[in-house]
């Protein structure tokens, strides 16, 4: 995942745009995959939060969006291996 500056408005817009590309169904797939891999209670809960807020990133903090996107990258990278 690219490194984003949480103080840069352009980076925040990019992160929000990436987050908004995922639907609730996409998040459900990541939740199920995360549970299979046992990525941890907090990570599963933040993915469930992302599912509830799918398409409306403006209600999530930049740190949460960054955390969720890094989990998505991690799960995608593990899947490719």
78 in helix, strand or coil? helix
This prediction's pTM: 0.85
Q: How far apart are CA 10 and CA 68, in angstroms?
A: 18
Answer positive or negative: Cα dihedral of 56, 58, 61, 62. Answer: positive
How does pLDDT run along the chain (81 residues), one tens digit per residue? 668 888 888 989 999 999 999 999 999 999 999 889 888 899 999 999 999 988 888 888 999 999 999 999 988 887 665
């Amino acid at each position: 995942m690219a490194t984003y500056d949480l103080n840069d408005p352009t980076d925040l817009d990019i992160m929000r745009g990436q987050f908004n590309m995922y639907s609730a169904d996409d998040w459900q797939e990541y939740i199920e995959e995360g549970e299979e891999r046992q990525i941890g209670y907090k990570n599963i809960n933040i993915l469930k939060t992302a599912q509830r807020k799918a398409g409306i990133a403006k209600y999530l903090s930049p740190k949460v969006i960054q955390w969720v996107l890094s989990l998505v990258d991690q799960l995608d990278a593990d899947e490719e291996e």
